[in-house]
Chains A and B, each alone.
Chain A
């Protein structure tokens, strides 16, 4: 199921790649901001105050969507990395496009996971009385965050032709961690609250809280896809400039050599 979702996202991105960057921003930004504005209004003024936690509960309308996006985009990264590994010798042009998708989705994942961790920490202090605990959910999310930090550091600071291949292999570890993050609050019932989605008969929300959650989920999804498409286009442009300067250098070398 996750693989299908990732493949769908990859196909969508491939189709969107023909749209100019300016057009992506002109369409994507107003749509995302409009949905997020409705989501904000629902979260602040329409959703009822939680009886046990009070207003701090409203933080969940940003915390849960950010974490869900932090579990979807790693699979875009994973599928793109697999496509890169499979085609890097047979079809280098496709491999480069897949690598650009992998990089874009890795960066967007890191943004969402960082927000998920930060908002979780800000919720934990008033509710649990502590900023952090080594609960399985918190620990597995931290591992995911560290994997993507390593992924981006690897890409930024290593030289040589194997960087993209090593990064693609690292993304497989992230794809292994994602189901552990998802299942951690189902396998081990410790400090973290029970799941909101697909958590069994006693899970979920009051029905008046659902619109706030769903509007924010939709808004952050559109926002995330927009960011991935924009970053993908930027990376493709960088690849083109790099190739052009390499070709220019080769041409100059050929002209000067006797």
Chain B
């Protein structure tokens, strides 16, 4: 139980951060095209 929540918390953190970085970079690519 403990470990599942810990792994999930780290995964959620990276998913949200990388997801946001991805949208910014996608927007950048669109402005170049």
Contacts and interface: CB of A to CB of B under 8 A. Distances in A.
B33 to A, nearest CB: 12
B contact face: mostly helix, strand, loop, or mixed: helix
Chain A interface bracket (under 10, 10 to 19, 20 to 34, 35 or more): 20 to 34
Given A118-B12, A119-B12, A56 B31 contact: no
Contacts of A56: 2-3, 5-6
B5 A21 contact: no
Given A223-B17, A238-B31, A230 B24 contact: yes
Interface in A121-175: 122-123, 125-126
A19 to B, nearest CB: 14
B24 A123 contact: no
A contact face: mostly helix, strand, loop, or mixed: helix
A244 to B, nearest CB: 12
B31 A119 contact: no
Contacts of B27: 234, 238
B16 A111 contact: yes
B20 A227 contact: yes
Considering residues A62, A107, A108, which has the most beta carbons from chain B within 10 angstroms of its beta carbon? A62
A123 B5 contact: yes
Contacts of A108: 20
Given A63-B9, A118-B12, A227-B21, A234 B3 contact: no
A115 B16 contact: yes
B17 A111 contact: yes
A55 interface: yes
A55 B21 CA distance: 29
5 closest residue pairs by CB, A with B? A56-B2, A119-B9, A122-B9, A122-B5, A59-B9
Interface of B: 1-3, 5-6, 8-10, 12-13, 16-17, 20-21, 24-25, 27-28, 31
